[in-house]
Amino acid sequence: MRSMAQRIQPKKSLGQHFLVDKNIARKIVALVQPQKGDVIVEIGPGKGILTQFFLQTPAEVVAIEIDSRLVDYLQARFGDHPRLRIVAADFREVDFARLDLPPGRIKWAGNLPYNLTSVVFFRLLEEVSRVHRAVFMVQREVAERVVAGPGNRDYGILSVLLQTFFAVKFEFPVSRKVFRPMPEVESAVISLENHHRIDLNCSTFDLVNLVKRSFNQRRKVLRNALRKWLSLEVQNELGFNFDRRPEEVPVEEWKELCQLLSKKGIRIPPLSGSSPQ
């Protein structure tokens, strides 16, 4: 089995950097808090360094892997384990409604390829009503961004959107030396605990568009950044303080602004070509 694993070389096109430190893997699994009745959706299991420890818990595991070489290896390594299901698929194209997950509390986990991180976060927002908790290894810069608060230069789109729905925590830094091949940047582990909010009172789609549009011109105050689709007259009617830059607006006030717009029947048009910050 070891020789089979050694023959699988990382694909640069998939952003593969395999974690090799079992102590780090154990810490990540512990942070997921797998329990009986949980369903762990593992994104990009690679050679199974997290999978092996998840399977030592009572949780069910659904591992989604795009690389056919790794799918074959995982099947050979873990065989027909009764609590493991391996899904050969591109995570970006997975239809969770059709995935037929076992019943239970859904938790996501994974050592995310750097080029897939934002995609995973936005899929997480799409599935927010179903996901109880998530724990990810990400680039340290991204970890610092998602936990940043207002007034911080790292505070941006992902900070606002993830913190609206989750309690986001920077758990611990991870040295680049524990990966093969060694990446050029440091990593970190973050956890996201679902608030299970029922008080948003506007669509997640509108909130995402509002935040993206605002941070797309983050050096401008909101009054000017949004005036192309939200007239000054309407802004004044809303009674919201638009004379601030996006990074000065706390998470709760983004929710408030989205609610004010929703009450007036104002939909926020999507911003094409935007990228998460």
Whether 224 is covered by a domain: the verdict is: yes
Q: Does residue 223 sit in the same domain as residue 147?
A: no
pLDDT score of 275 more than 50: no
Average pLDDT in the 65-80 region? 94
Whether 175 is covered by a domain: the verdict is: yes
Residue 164 near residue 207, CB atoms below 8 Å: yes
Encoded amino acid at 221, one letter: V
- At 192, list the tokens: 């996201």
pLDDT at 2: 64
Q: Does residue 124 sit in the same domain as residue 252?
A: no
**pLDDT category, 239, cuts 50, 70, 90?**
very high
Q: Does residue 88 sit in the same domain as residue 164?
A: yes
Q: At what angle do helices 251-263 and 204-215 cross, to 10 degrees?
A: 120
pLDDT at 6: 63
Q: pLDDT tens-digit profile of 30-67?
A: 999 999 999 999 999 999 999 999 999 999 999 999 99
Show the domain range for 239. Answer: 204-263
Q: pLDDT tens-digit profile of 116-173?
A: 999 999 999 999 999 999 999 999 999 999 999 999 999 999 999 999 999 999 999 9
Q: Where are the beta strands (DSSP E) in the chain?
A: 18-19, 38-43, 60-65, 84-88, 105-111, 131-139, 166-174, 179-180, 187-194
% of the chain residues with pLDDT over 70: 94
Largest CA-CA distance found in the chain, in angstroms, rounded: 69
Q: Does residue 15 sit in the same domain as residue 138?
A: yes
Domain-terminating residue out of 154, 174, 194: 194
Look at the chain and report how many structural domains it folds into.
Answer: 2
SS3 state of residue 123: helix
Q: Whole-prediction pTM value?
A: 0.93
> Of how many residues is the chain composed?
277
Domain-terminating residue out of 137, 163, 194: 194
- At 31, list the tokens: 């942070």
| Cα 242 versus chain centre, distance | 29
| Cα 20 versus chain centre, distance | 22
pLDDT at 273: 54
Distance between CA atoms of 188 and 193, rounded to whole angstroms?
Answer: 17
Encoded amino acid at 157, one letter: I
Q: Does residue 171 sit in the same domain as residue 214?
A: no
Range with lowest mean pLDDT among 60-64, 74-78, 99-103, 186-190:
99-103
Domain-terminating residue out of 150, 165, 194: 194
